[in-house]
Amino acid sequence: MPNSVKKNSALHIALRQASMQGEDNQYFALLENELRKSFAIDLLTFSLIDLGNNKARRLYSSDTSSYAIGGMKDIEDNAWTERVIRQQQSFIANTSEELAEVFFDHQLIDSLGLGAVINWPLVFNGQVIGTVNMLAHSGAYKEHDLSRLEELYPWLLAVFFKPFEQKER
């Protein structure tokens, strides 16, 4: 059996166990560790999208002091919304200037030394229900390969079907 199959099987078993046991922090930690193997990540968040109220709520954050769990924020109508929500496509930016065009909190992002983002929509029943948000230094995602996100899709999607209550790390 190839190593990649064994490795993915072990990950799937661990994710399944964490999910079945309600180990929310462990589940998120497993996903975060796996994503870090394929992407530069200085900040990782998962956001639940409420299209009916045009709001987003953070379910997970790798930096809770800067980006706390919970709370609702408005989804602004801009190029990001068009790309991620309406077209259901990933949004990738690699400069602070690009981030400033679509994110109201671009100054906070910049102050954390972040200048690149991948926002990856999770779609169920024809609508975006959440996003995986990875941020890193400027230029980090110029050469991007989103296939690992596709491979993890069922596990990432599962995040949005359970009301996770993150405990502080």
Q: Where are the domains of the chain?
A: 3-161
How far apart are alpha carbons 149 and 90 in whole angstroms?
11
In the chain, beta strands by DSSP E: 43-50, 55-61, 70-74, 91-93, 116-124, 127-136
Mapped onto helix, strand or coil, the DSSP state of residue 123 is strand
- pTM (two decimals): 0.86
Going residue by residue through the chain (169 aa), what tens digit of pLDDT does each one get? 444 444 567 777 877 777 777 677 888 888 999 999 999 999 999 999 999 999 999 999 999 999 999 878 899 999 999 999 999 999 999 999 999 999 999 999 999 999 999 999 999 999 999 999 999 999 999 988 898 899 999 989 988 886 544 444 4
Angle, alpha carbons 31-127-117 (nearest 5°): 45
CATH class of this structure's domain 3-161 = alpha beta
